[in-house]
Amino acid sequence: MKFPKILTSALLGCLLLAGGAAAQAQPLPLPRTDEVLLQMSQAFRRGDRDRLAQLLPLARGHALEPWAAYWELRARLDVAQPAEVDAFLARWAGSYQEDRLRNDWLRLLGQRRDWSRFAELYPQFRMNDDREVRCYALLVGTLRSGAPLAPEQLDELRRNWWGLRDADDGCTLAASELYSARQLTAADVWRKARLAMDANRPRVARSAVEIVAPEASSLVTQINDNPMRFLLAKATASGATRKELVALALLKMGSTDPDTAAAQLEGKWGVQITAEERNWVWGAIGRQAATRLSPMALEYYAKVSKDADLTDDMLAWKARAALRAGNWREVLAATAAMDAPLRNDSTWIYWRARALLGGGPLEPAPVATPVPAEAAAEPASARVRGRPSEAQRAEAQRLFESIASPRGFYEQLALEELGQRIVLPQRPPPPTPEEREAVRANPSLARGLYAIQIGLRSEGVREWNYATNLHLAGGMGERELLAAAELACQNEVWDRCINTSERTRTVFDVAQRFPMPHQAQVVQRSRAIGIDPAYVYGLIRQESRFIMDARSGVGASGLMQVMPATARWTARKIGIDGFRPEQINERDTNIAIGTAYLKLALDDFQDSMPLAAAAYNAGPGRPRVWRNGPVLDAAIWAENIPFGETRDYVKKVLANTTTYAAILSGQPQSLKARLGTVGPRDAGTADPSKDLP
């Protein structure tokens, strides 16, 4: 295998000795030895312990020997002796593999309730990125000290437990013990059950109910199977447990049929459950209606008497529904009720500022009021009542200024709200020779690059991210991140180049964050078919991060992540004779087919970049439905896309496009000009997008 020159020099300086942390120059391993690592990776994925043991001696001295040793021991960790684990941790001290195995071992010790060994090992866990292990640690701390958790520790435990979607041992055990010790309340535990039922995780919901009401846990299965039958079998909701079970049934019903759940809540059950339970269920029903873009969403949310009872997800969808309806007062109310981390996200800072300028606190038109015909063609965001005060203008200005930058979608929009265009920031000084040498001498970076080059991308990415993690003790500063990003760029590992450079906060290296590989091919092909090359680059950056052999979980391939069926259809459409599926991984063919499909989507969606991007990601049928309703500012439309992946995708593609346009043209740019408005297709206009696959 041929490596770029700079990667070769990095590896020559960084190969680890068998002792672990020491390093010296050694010759590159033979390709045969690389094959051993690839075979071990496959054996690890199969759980083939015998094959791993056979191959391990052949990996001695290889640049990636720490991975070989990790796979072999991790595959049999359940039967390994503590001395073997200790020996591994000592041999590979300071490496990603050492800390990852410590994570695995801590989880196993927790499952075994070996609190003594856990307490001894946990303080050395550097990444500390495993919620379950952290729950074990909090439990061990209170068990060993006999003292209750501090308030901030209890909050952390709640966040970890509530945030886990799937069943786990560590947080569930900690919650059970702390509930028994009266540190967690019944409301805390029922909240977990509601979150789990809301996320269609009935087993997780049942495990929570077993903590607070074990005699009722079997009813969770009945509720999940048929919530209406459960409700019909109950005459009343007497007692706290029965009320919570009714709330779970209404939540389950609302996840598939919000209108029926609303009718049940307004009828028999609303008066029988508590106000907090009622608010939660109305919030869940409102959110479900909002994700369906139903005009009923705000009516459901209006039945919530206290926004503080809602989850952040419910509040985010309340804000989106209010944006769609042009109800700025409710945008302000929803964002004000969000927890600080979400409220301080650039998304909601931007919309809060827009709401202030929209005359937020003044009385809006009632949700059900019909829109006058002459206003129907206006974006809903323009239909406001009242004028903002000077104080509101000043606060909106402050909010825009707090996020305005070329970094992302809402940051760029904030710049334009302040009367500025998107221009490229001045590049920071390049890394010094000393800074470059320091990253080349970093063994984790070298291993990460090597692993990626021989086809172990997942392992390489994990190791690279470990080396560049700002949160680890001794983690990289901004100058080191720039030097590491440069190293990745020079080796054409574009995803690590981009992601590493994006970690810098005070500097912005546009060449690292927005590289343009294959420029001649992309620009020439785009211009030949009449599509903006900046738009193509913006899409490729989001689709594949310029990884040539990228392949998604659903089978999309190559730079532009084209699905096989789409590739065949587009190849026929543009006259590529004898197209074979394997050709989609060829650079020029992938660019030709991807750009052609994107151009067809643009044509079919009347040159709307947001709609075409949504069609490229989610298929054309969905945005055809999502565009129905009022004419909207495209930023509001994009924020209301029901699929989180597509919502994020559209915003990032458009922000990327704006930056690439500034690079390619050398001129200031406007994101707003690329957004425009989105609304129903004009009556009588053909809908050629129905032909798109």
Catalytic residues: 543
Between CA 279 and CA 657 the distance in angstroms is: 41
130 touches 169 (CB < 8 A):
no
Determine the distance from the C-alpha atom of residue 373 to the mean position of all C-alpha atoms in its chain, rounded to a whole number.
Answer: 40
Q: How many residues does the chain have?
A: 693
How many other C-beta atoms can be found within 10 angstroms of the C-beta atom of residue 208?
Answer: 29
C-beta atoms surrounding 21 within 10 Å = 13
**Is residue 18 exposed (0-12), middle (13-18) or buried (19+ Cβ within 10 Å)?**
exposed
DSSP 59-114: GTT-TTHHHHHHHHHHHTGGG--HHHHHHHHHHTTTSHHHHHHHHHHHHHHHHHT-
Distances 416 to 400, 420, 421, 636, 673 between C-alpha atoms, Å: 9, 5, 6, 16, 10
Ranges of H-type helices in 292-428 = 297-301, 312-325, 328-337, 340-343, 346-357, 390-403, 409-417
Assigned token pair, 588:
């020029």
For residue 265, count CB atoms less than 10 angstroms from its CB and return exposed for 0-12, middle for 13-18, buried for 19 or more: buried
Q: List residues bridging with 677 in a β-sheet.
A: 633
The whole-angstrom separation of Cα 258 and Cα 254 is 4
Phi/psi at 669 (5° precision)? -130, 165
Cα 82 from Cα 85, distance rounded (Å)? 5
Q: In this structure, which amino acid lies at residue 502?
A: E
The closest of 134, 177, 179, 186 to 156, measured between CA atoms, is 134
Write the single-letter amino acid at 492.
E
Among the listed residues 276, 281, 248, the one whose alpha carbon sits nearest the alpha carbon of residue 265 = 281
Note whether 219 and 212 are within 8 A (CB): no
- How far apart are alpha carbons 270 and 243 in whole angstroms? 10
Cα separation values, 65 from 22, 81, 88, 302, 500, Å: 14, 21, 12, 60, 25
Tokens 């206003």 locate to 375
The candidate with the shortest Cα–Cα distance to 513, out of 488, 533, 531, is 488
Q: Which two tokens stand for residue 349?
A: 């800072």
Question: For residues 321 and 393, what is the distance between their CA atoms, to the nearest angstrom?
Answer: 24
**Residue listed under structure tokens 């109310």:** 333
Which of 555, 665, 674 is closest to 612 using CA atoms?
674
Using alpha carbons, list the distances in angstroms from residue 155 to 15, 188, 379, 487, 542: 43, 11, 42, 40, 35
